[in-house]
Structures are given as structure tokens and as C-alpha cells.
Amino acid sequence: MNHLISPSLLAADFGNLERDITMLNQSEADWFHLDIMDGVFVPNISFGFPVMKYIKKHAQKPLDVHLMITDPDRYIDNFHESGADILTIHLETCHHLHRTVQRIKSLGMKAGVSLNPHTPVNLLKDIIADVDLVLLMSVNPGFGGQKFIPNALEKVKELKQLITEKKSNALIEVDGGVDYSNAKALIEAGCDVLVAGSYVFKSKNPKETIKGLKKLTF
């Protein structure tokens, strides 16, 4: 399949949020990426259910929701009710990962699992066949605008091999410092979904920036 683009609304202008949502609706972006932070698992707080419901009301594309929170099981129903189409939880925060993944899927959402930069890919070997998506963090989670960690490329390759070996249908998503300088290499390594925040929203023409990322081939 062709790779997907999921711009991160964490980098949007929250004083003009409807304008930025409309821009994404009109762009070649495939998903809306929402980073939910609790100030505990990561050293930052982003936004919660009221803002998410507002985004869902205006978005014309799936909501790709990334939970950077402790104890995500407590809120799975809430995120479903708030409009999540894809719900990604961190391996590092789940004590019963298989059960959590199955709960997400039982509500009709796609289930994703995310790994921090230091977390090895092989920890996914017993769950990879059950998930719809794996989100590899290519920066330390919590803040936008960080520099890409080059080792993420090797993790994408390793994950792609694991997906092939286990005959999984999971997509590979990469988030953190993604821009034109590394996007092509990520796609070549096996990435299916590129998350880009600051690179899109801080550019002079976000729609053209998205178009450029979308047209990358190898």
C-alpha cells in the first residue's frame, strides 16, 4: 500500500483550531494524529476529551489517537465515546497488554501499541499478530519539535521483519522529528504511516508540505 500521512495536531494553532482542522480536511493527509498526555507518563499535558470531541465534530478523516498516559485501561471507553478510530497505548504502561488490545478492538477501534526509543522491538513478538498498528517513537515522548533519533530506522527494519515472520497485518507508524530529510529512508525501511507535527504546521504552506511527504516514493 501507499504510505499514509498523519499530521500531529499537537503542533496546530489552538487559537485557530477549526482553521487548521479545515486545512487538514482539504489536504492529502490521511489521518488526524492526536497526542494525549497526562503529565505523569510524560512530562507534559496536552488536551482531553472536550477538545477531542470538538476535533471529531469537524474532522473528515479518522482520528489516530496516541495515549501517552498511565493506566490507559481506565479511559478506553471514554476515548471510544470521544471519537477515536485508532487507539494506541504504550507497551510501557500496560500490565495486561493482550487484554487491553482486545478491549480496544471489541469496541470497534483499531488497536495500536507504541514503543519508546529505548524499548526493544522483540517485546512485541507475542502480541504483534493481534495489533493493527505499531507506533515507534523516534524522539522521547512528551514534546513536539525534537530531533529525530537515527536508530529508529533500524527499529523499523527489525519490526518489519518481525511482522513478516509472524504473518501480522500491523502497520508501522513513526512519530518524532519526521521531515523530508528522513521520511524517504523511513518508507524504504518499511514505515507505513508518517506522523509529522512541527514540520507540517510550522511550514509556510502546510498543505504543500503534506503533499510533498505523500508523494515520496522509493
Catalytic site positions: 35, 175
- Hunting for cell 505499531 — which residue is that? 134
- Hunting for cell 501517552 — which residue is that? 68
Residue 137 corresponds to which cell in the numbers above?
Answer: 517513537
Name which of 98, 59, 58, 52 is nearest 75 in CA terms: 52
As a whole number of angstroms, the distance between CA 6 and CA 63 comes to: 9
Residues 6+ apart with CB under 8 A from 35: 8, 9, 10, 46, 66, 68, 144
